[in-house]
Structure 1
Amino acid sequence: MTMITIFAYPSGGAERAADRLSWLPMSASAIDDLAVVEWPDDENRPSAWQSTPVGGERRSLTGAFWGLLFGHLFLLPITEGSRAESDSAFSGAAQEPLAHLGRGADRLEAIRDRVVPGSGAVFVLHADDQADKVATAIGRRRRRVVTVELSPSQSTQLYTGFGVFSTAAAG
């Protein structure tokens, strides 16, 4: 099975964790893909980017997936206030995005509650049998926010729609 685990950090910590993770030697890396959100105290919205690990054979997701996920997490709530009263279909879509892939409104709320100004998060895509390696590699200062376990059919849907298989040479 595929998992996405989200770890929260104080400001600057997510970027440093992702940098460490993206340069792990392939033999030690249990990570297929990762993305980072950093929200500085003085900004109105977070910055987000994909930080796919270097080298080796791996499955990763396109930037479109991460953009869609981060849009639902951080951008739709900003615009929802003005449209939600008049457009219940829009509100419903914002509350249950990607639910068929295992991400319901409760999980989105847990992430939104932890990723606030002055914090950040690392979103790690990995196989379920690699969860302990991921937790060890991410470091001691991690705070797990959410772990999403995808069923085999959900994983297939995710990779069919957003997957990329990389055979880049180890760096």
Structure 2
Amino acid sequence: MSDLVAIVYPSEAKAEEVRQRLLKLQKEYLITISDAVIAVKTDQGGIKLNQLVNTTAMGAMTGSFWGLLIGVLFLNPILGVAVGAASGALGGALTDFGIDDSFMKSLSASLQPGSAALFVLIKHMTADKVINEIKDAGGVVLKTSFDETKEKMLRDALASAVERPAA
């Protein structure tokens, strides 16, 4: 079972910094991430999602390969690549795995313009070490699916980072 964590940061850059820290921790086997998306509220009020994986580009790339292969079989590789890329891109654009986009957009509607929310879908983590690594970045917990103990530990750690610079 996975846990969802959404943390609000004052800027997209800060949210990206924390996402990169989490990806580094994943390489150290301290956390297993299914998805990590940054939602940014634009100055016009719209929500832009910065996905970890661009499914449209990935679909176009794999579609091109399969289209080329089929095109070679039917002696028209250029047409095969074009059709394969187009169908792959369409399939990739329609594919959504991980955190539901409409859920992230609705939750991010309450953000201030310019601020960003980092949504992380976690399969497994060593909570104390992961929280220790990201607590100095601050942030405000928007939503979690953690049990009350883990959620309180996360909220307290992030709140202490906010209080420290002011003192």
TM-score (norm 2): 0.48
Structure with greater strand share of residues:
1
Structure number with the bigger relative contact order (C-alpha 8 A, sep ≥ 6) is 1
Largest Rg, 1 or 2: 2
